[in-house]
Structure 1
Amino acid sequence: MDAVTQVPTPVNEPVHSYAPGSPERARLEGKLKELGENPIDLPMTIGGVQRMGGGEPFDVVQPHHHAKRLGTARHATQTDAQDAIDAALAAAPAWRAMSFDDRAAIILRAADLLAGPWRETIAAATMLGQSKTV
């Protein structure tokens, strides 16, 4: 680590009850409907570029409802794996050279997005993709 730095003190987020009629429940139900009714292509991201794998396609289905397709992905090939390794190795020096504060800012920004505007999307995707409840 470059220096001693001040990381924000972690605090628990407010608990959402998702009670019938609540705004958070309505938002979640809307996102569940959207994701459940609109199958998507599920690409891999390599070197910051999204692309479908080079292998055979396969359906991604709800574990609790196998007839319900969430999307389509493709198996990764050896070339896909090598491209990912090469991209990670190429990115490593810049990430290593970045200050702790700058790296922490990236992680904290991701946490803010997941706790804020992407909350219902990640909750709905988890519920559909892993058969979880809120």
Structure 2
Amino acid sequence: MTPLPDHLRQATRARTQETEQRARTALTELARAGKPVTFTTVARQAGVSSDFLYRSPELRTQIERHRAKAGPAPAGPEDPQGGSSTSAAVRTLSARLTRLQQAHREEVARLRKSLEIAQGENLDLRRRLARYEAD
């Protein structure tokens, strides 16, 4: 693998630093506001991936420290707009998918039955034609 040119390495480093700064700012804002500090909430607030936060040792340590101070996580979702709407959307889409699958199964069964009937009629007509041509 060829090494990256200097200008690309510098751009990558600058982008990473800017992303880390956004994450630190989001972490500080959440802590000051008294909101729960989790990898998900920090990632959402900063506009970064939670994977980025997990891979950054400094940010990971800070987030884990804030989570430990806050105590055990509540059983329900903290953000009624985020968590429950996502679950509701998943449930709605799952129900819709189930209905579509059932409708497709019924249609396939109906089409198979129609095909069997058509093949039977075709076979009957061929037999009649064969008797007619034999005479």
TM-score over 0.5 for the pair: no
Tell me which structure has the larger Cα radius of gyration: 2
| Greater helix proportion | 2
Greater relative CO, 1 or 2 (CA 8 Å, sep 6+):
1
| Greater strand proportion | 1
